[in-house]
Structure 1
Amino acid sequence: MPVSSRYLNAWEGFWRDAPAEAGAVIWDAEPALTASVHLALLDPYLADPALPVVDVGCGNGTQTRFLAERFGRVLGVDLSTAAVGLARTQHPDGRAEFAQLDATDGPGVRELHARLGDANVYVRGLIHQSEPADRQPVADAIATLVGDRGRAFVVELSASAKAVLAGLAQSPQGPPPKLRPVFEHGLAPAEVVDSAFGELFRTAGLTVLASGELPLFLTEFAPDGSRIDLPSHWLVVGADGAAPQR
């Protein structure tokens, strides 16, 4: 079942209003702090690095473009057509492909898998701000895209990040400028209980091959000039626990 119109409209509004400048969106941190770190964790578990890569929830494509410099074929998909349009505008060289996809749309996800075959999948900060009914379908979509040979790296905010965000929002100066649009558009980050994170993928039929915690860096800074980061946890998942074949 597709996402609710409220959720779709929230994301369309957010990306339609998002500035085009690099780093203007609060989670649009440079790949050296994000995808590069995540690839180092994923790499030992890749069974086939030659598989296409799908960046699910790609937003404006910053991480997708980085992945395209390291893999042969990379496709960024996002629920929001505004996000996909922004990604194509910001990364016009064609190294990465971009397409609209609702990850809760089972037939659409299966059609993508039929076209690409098994894929390695990258997901950063998608499930924690999905509506409750959509979280298992998103995990199921990742399982469909991974298939038998792919692996997925999934990083999400820990539940404790919600208190950090609330503290930022309730500061005497009000929310930091880059955080304000998140709340103004009705998005609700850090909504997944930590214990439910791995279970979503086990229910989808995937095996958790590795897990850990690390800070998720933002593009916003505290009054003292330090970069704001949020607690997050990550998983590498695949169809089975077999050792990578290189």
Structure 2
Amino acid sequence: MSVTERYREAWEGFWREAPDEPGAVFWDAGPERTAAVHLALFEPYVTSPGLPLVDLGCGNGTQTRFLADRFPRVIGADLADAALDRARRADPDGRATYRLLDATDKAEAETLHADLGDANVYVRGVLHQCDPDDRPRLVDTVATLLGERGRACLVELAEAAKPVLMGLAGGPSGPPAKLAPILRHGIAPGEVSDAEIPHRLRACGLTLVAHGELPLTTTEYTAEGTRIELPSRWYVVGRTG
């Protein structure tokens, strides 16, 4: 079984089992705490706001629907049919469209770019969950979708998030309820070093336009009732500065 097939099966299983209610998934915080925060950082650097926007790794579409109110055309793309089924059910008015995409497959990326033309891209928390061999392919897909005019916003867990996650997983009562299914399905978050992402971006011919740090908000709480936030880094990239 290939890396991508294992990854796809893990995500299909995860989304088939995940509860439907809002906030039931560990990272599925409301857009006001996630995409809205990222968009405020991203928009000043978007030079072609009229381009389509691809929400790469859209999951159940919570952020996709928010972005669809702010860009003229939004496409939610994901590896898992089960995730896209949820996204479509939650978007009965079709504010966005949804597409099955293996983001490690260059041919699929090129087909999507041929269909859309240049696009802006939003990626939240996808690269840090990929197997090492798939990371350069995923970044290459981002570069392909951008073409010459698009800009991408990537938000990924920082290195410092991994010990936080390990601490949560290894607590005396076991991992928090919303973290446990991620680990059970063999999805390993927080695996990318801080230095790797800029290196991968530049290796694919992308220019780092802006970057910074911010906490990534989750839907889970500590035993003391504090919402769990994980250290993360954001990057805006394009073909030119």
TM-score by length of 1: 0.96
Residue 177 of structure 1, CA deviation: 0.4
Please tell me whether residue 22 in structure 1 is matched to residue 22 in structure 2.
yes
The whole-number CA distance in structure 2 between the counterparts of 1:158 and 1:7 is: 21
Please tell me whether residue 71 in structure 1 is matched to residue 81 in structure 2.
no
Structure 2: unaligned runs, 5 residues or longer: none
The whole-number CA distance in structure 1 between the counterparts of 2:69 and 2:218 is: 22
Aligned to 1:229: 229
- Mapping 1:120-135, distance limit 5 Å: 120-135=120-135
Residue identity opposite 1:202 in structure 2 = R
Kept in 2, the 8 Å contact 1:26–1:220? The answer is yes
Please tell me whether residue 38 in structure 1 is matched to residue 6 in structure 2.
no
Residue 163 of structure 1, CA deviation: 0.5
Residue identity opposite 1:219 in structure 2 = T
For residues 156-197 of structure 1, give each alpha carbon's deviation from its aligned partner in whole angstroms, at most 9, with x where no partner exists: 001111100111111111111000000100010000111011
Aligned to 2:94: 94
Aligned to 2:183: 183
Aligned to 1:171: 171
State the Cα RMSD in Å. 0.9
Residue identity opposite 1:109 in structure 2 = A
**1:4 aligns to what SS in structure 2?**
helix
Residue identity opposite 1:49 in structure 2 = P
Identity of aligned residues (%): 59
**2:140 aligns to what SS in structure 1?**
helix
Residue 3 of structure 1, CA deviation: 4.4
Pairs aligned (count): 240
Structure 1: unaligned runs, 5 residues or longer: 242-246
The 3 A distance-change label for structure 1 pair 3 and 73 is: farther
**2:195 aligns to what SS in structure 1?**
helix
The whole-number CA distance in structure 1 between the counterparts of 2:155 and 2:115 is: 26
The whole-number CA distance in structure 1 between the counterparts of 2:161 and 2:114 is: 37
The whole-number CA distance in structure 1 between the counterparts of 2:112 and 2:125 is: 21
Residue 4 of structure 1, CA deviation: 2.8
4+ runs of 1 displaced by more than 3 Å?
none
Aligned to 1:11: 11
